Structure 1
Amino acid sequence: MKQNNFISKDISLLNVEEIHQFIANSYWGKGRTLDDVKLTIENSYCFGLYTNENKQIGFARVVTDYIYFGYFMDVIILDKFQGKGYGKILVEAMLADSTIKSLKTLSLKTKDAHHLYERYGFNKIGDSPLWMSIDRQILE
């Protein structure tokens, strides 16, 4: 079967306006300006998911120190592509990335995607209805 999409970390490929529109209308990103989104992209480790014709399908970013900690943020699939498995493709690509695989702790907050992240090893943190993590650090 021919793959009809690809992942890139090249931020010049991102359709920032489309990403901004999605985030600004989400429950977690209300009020973010286009300049806010541009700045978060510049200061994060980003992943774009695209059709083979370079149309934006999805986006995610990780705020990280590149050694110990990474915080998954703004993991999105644009509306017209939802329900087709692209969220799984994006999260799997992120978790397979060598930089992300080397981090000791990954975290995220979600209101409604716990089931998606649990299948990849994320666990709820304490009593929080939002926070999840993967903790690989061994403390003695």
Structure 2
Amino acid sequence: MEAVYDISTDPARLDVTRVHRWLSTDAYWAIGRSREAQERAIAGSLNFGAYQAGSGIQVAYARVVTDHATFAWLCDVYVDRSARGHGLGTALVEAVRDHLMPYGLRRILLATEDAHGVYEQAGFRPLDDPQRWMVFTKG
């Protein structure tokens, strides 16, 4: 990673406007997400922001939904286009993983269409038995 970044779970540091813009306009899984829905998601989650050292400008985001005991869902991982290609995505995912390790979670899940390599570098792998998993989707 060429630049130095500060990764924090402090919700007061989040640039909610920037996070909403990133996700609702540039993240295939969240296109069109309303600001209100994003704010509810942030309020109900453990949030990670990555900030440029010195300037404090937020350049990446990740969100975890967890019970802090058995399970976590890693989602909304986004790195600003200007900060991509320097290992920040992997560093962010590793920070999330390391933050969750002391809880002894049985599993941390995620879904991705195009960033398998980023998650594999942090130790994630495909499900052993995906046929055992089910999903309910609205509409």
TM-fit CA distance, 1:69: 0.3
Task: Choose the corresponding residue for 2:120, options 105, 118, 121.
Answer: 118
Residues in 2 aligned to 1:51 and 1:101: alpha-carbon distance in whole angstroms: 28
Q: Could you tell me the TM-score, scaled by structure 1's length?
A: 0.82
Structure 1 residues 90 and 101: CA distance shift in structure 2, 3 A: farther
Tell me the number of residue pairs that the alignment of Structure 1 and Structure 2 aligns. 128
Q: Gaps (5+ residues) in structure 2? A: 134-139
Query: Hey, what does 2:5 align to over in structure 1?
Result: 5
Residues in 2 aligned to 1:104 and 1:120: alpha-carbon distance in whole angstroms: 16
Residues 1-140 of structure 1 aligned to structure 2 (within 5 Å):
4-25=4-25, 26-52=27-53, 53-98=55-100, 102-125=104-127
**Between structures 1 and 2, the one with greater helix share:** 2
TM-fit CA distance, 1:119: 2.3
TM-fit CA distance, 1:79: 1.4
Residues in 2 aligned to 1:94 and 1:41: alpha-carbon distance in whole angstroms: 15
| Secondary structure of the corresponding residue to residue 35 of structure 1 | helix
**Between structures 1 and 2, the one with greater strand share:** 1
Return the letter of the residue paired with 1:119.
Q
When the two chains are superposed, the root-mean-square deviation of aligned CA atoms in Å is 2.1
* Of 94-103 and 22-31, the range deviating more from structure 2: 94-103
TM-fit CA distance, 1:127: 7.8
CA distances 1:6-52 after superposition (whole Å, capped 9, x unpaired)? 11111111111111111112110012111111110110011110012
Higher RCO (CA < 8 A, seq sep 6+)? 2
Q: Could you tell me the TM-score, scaled by structure 2's length?
A: 0.83
